[in-house]
Amino acid sequence: MFIPMGTVVAVCMIITLVFVNRIPVLSLNRITPPVILRVIGIVTGAAGLWNVLWYALRHPTQFWGLMALGSGLLMTLLSVLLVLSPDRQPAMLTPVRPFALIGLLGFAITYAVGIYRL
């Protein structure tokens, strides 16, 4: 028995959304130890890179290939915020964060609906 990679990536997107957002009620990054955040960032970044470098490059003209490209880029970008300590994060990521989160939320919903329909 195996878990389909689309399901793994969808879960990684949701985990990224939960730990990177700054909404006080929904964010777990303030109470999570930094070492755990780094591990989560590495795992979600790896899932994002897999999405871009393996799936998207093998299916560049298909719908799910384009979804993998967009979600993988956003997940990789946002995972940097989990891996780096707040004082070492690039300043350009601060204004981009809300838009990247909204985009990743859209991808996560599309993945979840697609998986549910299977």
**Cβ within 8 Å of residue 49, ≥6 positions away:** 72, 76
Tokens standing for residue 47 = 């899932």
Q: Look at residue 6 and tell me whether its pLDDT is greater than 80.
A: yes
pLDDT tens column, 67-95: 999 999 999 999 999 999 888 988 998 89
pTM comes to 0.91
Question: Pick from 7, 4, 5, 10: which is nearest to 106 by CA?
Answer: 10
pLDDT tens column, 12-67: 999 999 999 888 776 787 788 999 999 999 999 999 999 999 999 999 999 999 99
